[in-house]
Each structure stands twice: as structure tokens, then as C-alpha cells.
Structure 1
Amino acid sequence: MEPDKRLDARGAACPGPTVMVAEELKEMEPGQILEVLVDSEGIANDIKDLAEGEGHEVLEVEETDEGVRILIKVGGGSEGEEPSPEAVPITPEKVMIAQSNGVANPERAYATFLISEAALAMDFDVVIFGFMDGVTVLVEKEVRKVKHPQFPPLIEKAEEVLSNDNVEAYACELSVQARGITSEDLLEGVEIAGASKFLRLVTDPGVEVVWL
């Protein structure tokens, strides 16, 4: 089957390939075929989940000499067309990143914003809530210290995510008080919130919580 578009996502760090595919699918017409090439089966499975969750049909996933090849048929076809049993659209909900580790764990600090980026690409709204040591991922001077050779500086990723209109970010009031943090220390767009806000979010059935 000849694809309408090809996307080479090899070499991109997670969640880069998923974000790239999500953006590409938004630009394509119903019924068109997208061919994606990625480095590993794990990334391919992530893309498969994304595509099917957004109402597209995954036609093929196969390992080749060049990497793992995925064929995706864009959903939303002509009236009367039978949808794939697996291609059932989901209703976008809200994802909450509950961050309790902070910049002392760079991998989890990056994950706060990389997972947020992936969620936004999947049309979820995002809430980031930093509590305990996790508030440090929302403190500008602390975030500026974190760098990793595989990723952009953390401050760049944080500012990019927090500037999105579909992102809310909160720092736990108790945690900032305990650490002498003020609102002026926080990244732009971050608000200070108390336990009631946190509890309303984690008990809301429309919010999926990711604990970091």
C-alpha cells in the first residue's frame, strides 16, 4: 500500500515521535495513509495507542531493516464507511501531572513537561501540580539549573509547555511556605494553590492523574 505521506521519526527522544505523528495526522485528510518509521517497538506501540485513541486506524506495524514501520489510515472518512472496531474516538479529558520529586530527580523533572507535551498533542488539557519537593520544577532559578545532553534545557521545555493556553500549573501552598518560596520565584503562569484544589483535582473522575 502506497502511503500519502511519510514521517521519519527515528532518533527523536520520547515523546517526540508521538507528538510528531499527532501533529502530522491533524494536517491530513480522512482516508489518507501515513507511514511512520521509528526506532523501537515501544515507540511504535505508543503511536498505535495515540492513533487508535484519536479515531484513526492502524493498518500495519512491522519491523524492517530500517526500523519499525507503522501505517495509519486517517479517521473521519465518508458517510456510511464502517469504522475499524479498534478505531473508536475518545472524549478528550484532563491529565494532571502530580509532581512530588522535583529537580533533584532530573528524569522526573523532564518527564513533567515531556508527558504534558504528549498529552497536549493528544488534545488533553493539562494540569501540573507541584507538591513537596515537586514544587521545585516550578521555581525558575531551580529549573534553569537542570540540563541533559539528550534534551533541550529544562527551562526551555517548561516555558514552552506553560505558555500553552490548555495548561494550568499550581504550586502547593504548604510546600512553598515550608521552603520559603514566594510567587515571584515561580515560573510565569504558575499559581499557588491549597489542599482543597489538589483534592478536587485528584478526586475528579474526569481527570487522569499521573504521579511523578
Structure 2
Amino acid sequence: MKPDRRLDVRGAACPGPSVMVAEELKEMEPGQVLEVIVDSEGIANDIRELVQDGGHEVLKVEETDGDIRMLIRVGGVETDSTATDGTVRTCAGSLPSTDTDSVMIAQSTGVANPERAYATFLMSEAALAMDLDVVIFGFMDGVTVLVEREVERIRHPEFPPLIDKAREVLRNVEACACELSIQARGITSDDLLDGVKVVGASKFLKLITDPGVDVVWL
């Protein structure tokens, strides 16, 4: 089968490949086929989840010389749900049933743990690629991932500067900082990154008790 488009995401750090695939699929027409080349099993599995959750169809996955080639058909049209080899596939265009439409990244560790600080924004980016609404909620030490001067000093050789990633993600999510937590640390609203709201405990409790919101604790 000849693909309509080809996307090579080899060398891109997670969640970059999933985000790139999601953006490419949004630009394609129902029934078109996208070929994706990846260089790790973990990234391939992430893309498979993204594709199936989005109502698209993974037609083929094959590994050659350490690279993995995936063929993905864009959802929105009815297709034969049974492959020629007898295996049953998800019908393109049929979304999985789920009660979850939002994710809250509950951040309590802050910049003292750079890995989790990066994960706050990388996981948010992955959730956005899955068309989920995202809330980043900083409380206790976690509010520091929303403080501009703190985020500016965090860097990792495998990723862009954290400040760049944070600003990019915050344009597309709701970000909240616990008022008590910032007051206890001498932080003011002027210290926060653009777009961050100062909220109280009721907002936090509303989110964690909402059955439509999955919570990721960091």
C-alpha cells in the first residue's frame, strides 16, 4: 500500500513523535494513509495508543534494521474491520468509549526534581495531542514549576530549555497555582509565568473529585 504522506520522527524525544503524528493526522483527509518511521518500541506503542484513541486505524507495523514502520489510516470512514489474515481491527472512525475528557497534572515536587518538572509539561503536551483538556495544578513545592525565575534555570541536554517548553505548553492549557502554597514561599502573582491563575483549595478538590478528570500525580 502506497501511503499518502510520510513522517519520519526518528531522533525526536518523547512526546515529540506523538505530537507530530497527531498534527499530521489532523491535516489529512479521512481514508488517507500516513506512513510513520520511528526508532524505538516505546514511541511506536505511544503512537499506536494515540492513533487508536483518536479513532484512526493502525494498518501495519513492521521492523527493519532497527527502525519501525507504521501505516495509519485516518479515521472518519467506514472500513472492513477484519483484516485478510483474520485478525480483527478497530474500525476507523469509531472512537473508544471513555468518560475521561480532561487530565490534571498535579505537581507537588517542583523544580527540586528536574525530571518531574520536565514531565509536567511533556505529559501535558502528550495529553493535548490526544485532544484532552489539560489542567496543570501546582501546590506545595510544585508551584515552583510555574514560577518564571525558577523554571529559567532548569535545563536538560536531551530537551529544550524548560522555560521554552513551559511557555509553549501554557498557551494551550489551564494552569493553576495554589494560593496558600505561593504565600508560604514568598511568591507573588507577578512571579508566575504568563497565564497562570492563583486559586484556592476548592478548585483543587473540584478537579480531583470530577469523574471526567484523570489525575496524574507528580
TM beyond 0.5: yes
TM-score when normalising by structure 1: 0.93
The number of aligned residues is 208
* Structure 2 partner of 1:99: 107
Please give the per-residue CA displacement for 1:33-74, whole angstroms capped at 9, x wherever unaligned: 111111111110100000000000001122111511111111
Which segment drifts farther, 105-114 or 9-18? Answer: 105-114
- 1:48 counterpart SS class: helix
Contact persistence 2:57–2:90 (CA under 8 A): no
Give the aligned partner of residue 134 of structure 1.
142
User: Counterparts in 2 of 1:12-161, with a 5 A limit?
Assistant: 12-77=12-77, 81-82=79-80, 84-85=89-90, 87=92, 88-90=94-96, 93-161=101-169
Q: Once superposed, what is the RMSD of the aligned Cα atoms?
A: 1.5
- What is the match of residue 186 of structure 2? 180
Query: How big is each residue's C-alpha offset from its partner over 1:131-175, in whole Å with a ceiling of 9 and x where there is no partner?
Result: 1111000001000011111111111111111122xx111111221
Give the match for residue 205 of structure 1: 211
Query: What is the aligned-residue identity percentage?
Result: 74
Q: Distance in 2 between matches of 1:85 and 1:18?
A: 19
Q: Structure 2: which amino acid aligns with 1:44?
A: A
Once residues 48 and 193 of structure 2 are traced to their aligned partners in structure 1, the CA distance between those partners, rounded to angstroms, is 34
Give the residue type in structure 2 aligned to 1:85: T
Q: Is contact 1:117–1:161 with CA below 8 Å preserved after alignment?
A: yes
Task: Supply the distance in 2 between the matched residues of 1:134 and 1:154 (Cα, whole angstroms).
Answer: 15
1:76-117 deviation line (CA, Å, top 9, x unaligned): 016xx4554365314671111001111111111111111111
CA distance in 1, matches of 2:128, 2:90: 25
Distance 2:119 2:112 in 1: 13
Does the 8 Å CA contact 1:52/1:86 hold for their aligned counterparts? no
The residue identity in structure 2 corresponding to 1:5 is R
**Which consecutive residues of structure 2, in runs of 5 or more, have no partner in the other structure?**
82-88
Deviations 1:162-189 (A, max 9, x none): 122xx11111122111111111111111
Select 1:194's aligned residue among 184, 200, 204. 200
Q: TM-score, normalised by structure 2?
A: 0.91
Quick check: 2:152–2:162 contact (8 Å CA) kept in 1?
A: yes
Cα distance in 2, alignment partners of residues 202 and 132 from structure 1: 16
Alignment gaps of 5+ in structure 1: none
How far apart, in 2, do the equivalents of 1:85 and 1:51 lie?
A: 10
Distance 1:127 1:3 in 2: 36
